[in-house]
Amino acid sequence: MKPYLSLLLVGLLLLLCVGTSYSQRRIDTIPTSQGCYRQPVTPISAIPTLHTDMSLDCMLGYIYADSLCRSIQTRSELDSFANLIDSWDTLKPFMRFLYRMSEYDPDLLEEYCDAAASLDTSYYLIPAVPRAVLEKRMNAVLGLRNKLNFLTLSSAILHVRVDTVTMSYDSLADYPKWPLPMVCVTATVLDTIKGIHIRQSSDGGTVIGKGKTEPLALASVINFSFSPYWQKLNPRGDFRGMGVDSLGNEYFPCDSCYTSSAVEAGKEYIVFLKDVLLDYNGTYSFYNFWPLPYYSPEGGIFAIDISGNVEEPSNYFGYGTSVPLATFETDLRNDINTIVSH
């Protein structure tokens, strides 16, 4: 690591301030309908939560985040430090930490971001704030919708075969158009490109990931869902009028919407998923996986045709518009290595 970058990281660790601490009580809320999936997760009870099978970069990510949230008192102060991250050289270590944290266990990362400040009153900022500030710097330095940002922010990247597609409703959608449709997907995981500990399906199946004892060949199963009306390239809150769903997207059909046929049973896909905290009821936290939109025109869902080629009509990754699966996965891993290599 370059000397000036080491000094920046050490400086962030040593910036321990004295003042009134910020704390936040977790809000107990339960949606009035189930939606597609509300998968229960036992909330974290201590921070930072470190495990012996974490990579060093994953551990460091939690340790640095813990220090930041205990030492930097305001968002403006944090922004001032973040502005020092103005090149790939200074940005890469932070992206590497975040990639490893999300790769290890997305539930753990989301729990930490949401619940840490309610567990320790010495936190000035909830950990979701440094993550949001880092994402802003990633977009500023590398550009909006950059593929390295996409890989870093995805909670899981999987090669799946869709088993079932059913319909339900968006339990978090806003008035006046409620409830809105949701597409509910159960899929068998055929290969894991990003992910170590990943939540298993509500419909059965084994837990997937390198950290588990079951072989991947034992048909690991996951659930994810999406709305036909979600716009693939519009960020959350970027809407023009009333009647929006839980992502802030308007509910009428559009050219960039997923539609109900974005995935079909029996077909294979490469999916880029985002782990989403739905709510907390005082005993459990409830989660779901959604495709990660905003980056590729494909909305994080890339179909594999009958010839075994990954269809990428926009050539978002630059691998070509129709690429053999093995080549696509190799190219993805090469791009991932750009982020995580030292």
**Coil, strand or helix: which one is 193?**
strand
Positive/negative CA dihedral, 281, 285, 291, 292: positive
Q: In total, how many domains does the chain have?
A: 2
- Give the pair of three-digit tokens for residue 196: 């170590």
> How many other C-beta atoms lie within 10 A of the C-beta of residue 251?
23
Confirm whether 333 is domain-assigned: no
Are 178 and 274 contained in the same domain?
A: yes
Query: How many whole angstroms separate alpha carbon 91 and alpha carbon 220?
Result: 35
Q: What is the pLDDT along the chain (342 residues), one digit of tens a residue?
A: 554 444 344 344 333 332 223 334 566 665 555 578 888 899 998 899 999 999 999 999 999 999 999 999 999 999 999 999 999 999 999 999 999 999 999 999 999 998 988 888 889 999 999 999 999 999 999 998 999 999 999 999 999 999 999 998 776 655 444 567 889 999 999 999 999 999 988 664 433 443 343 433 444 899 999 988 888 876 433 333 445 555 555 556 677 889 899 999 999 999 999 998 888 888 888 888 999 988 999 999 999 999 999 999 999 999 999 999 999 999 999 999 999 999
Are 163 and 118 contained in the same domain?
A: no
pTM of the full structure = 0.84
Buried b or exposed e, range 213-246, using 16+ CB within 10 angstroms: eeeeeebbbbbbbbbbbbbbebeeeebeeebbbb
Confirm whether 79 is domain-assigned: yes
Are 168 and 89 contained in the same domain?
A: no
User: What pLDDT, on the 0 to 100 scale, is given for residue 335?
Assistant: 98
Helix then strand count (H, E) for the chain reads: 8, 9
Are 111 and 251 contained in the same domain?
A: no
Query: How many whole angstroms separate alpha carbon 311 and alpha carbon 308?
Result: 9
Are 90 and 26 contained in the same domain?
A: yes
User: What pLDDT, on the 0 to 100 scale, is given for residue 283?
Assistant: 87
For residues 201 and 221, the answer to whether their CB atoms sit within 8 Å is yes
Are 22 and 140 contained in the same domain?
A: yes
Confirm whether 213 is domain-assigned: yes
Confirm whether 39 is domain-assigned: no
Query: How many whole angstroms separate alpha carbon 143 and alpha carbon 156?
Result: 22
Side-chain half-sphere CA neighbours of 159 within 13 A: 18
User: What pLDDT, on the 0 to 100 scale, is given for residue 34?
Assistant: 57
Task: Provide the domain limits for residue 26.
Answer: 3-34+47-151
> How many other C-beta atoms lie within 10 A of the C-beta of residue 247?
23
Confirm whether 167 is domain-assigned: yes
User: What pLDDT, on the 0 to 100 scale, is given for residue 30?
Assistant: 58
Are 257 and 308 contained in the same domain?
A: yes
Confirm whether 340 is domain-assigned: no
* Closest among 149, 220, 214 to 189, alpha carbons compared: 220
Length of the chain equals: 342
- How far is CA 52 from its chain centroid? 23
Are 254 and 311 contained in the same domain?
A: yes
Confirm whether 332 is domain-assigned: no
Are 168 and 226 contained in the same domain?
A: yes
Confirm whether 331 is domain-assigned: no
For residues 193 and 157, the answer to whether their CB atoms sit within 8 Å is yes
Are 196 and 308 contained in the same domain?
A: yes
Are 267 and 321 contained in the same domain?
A: yes
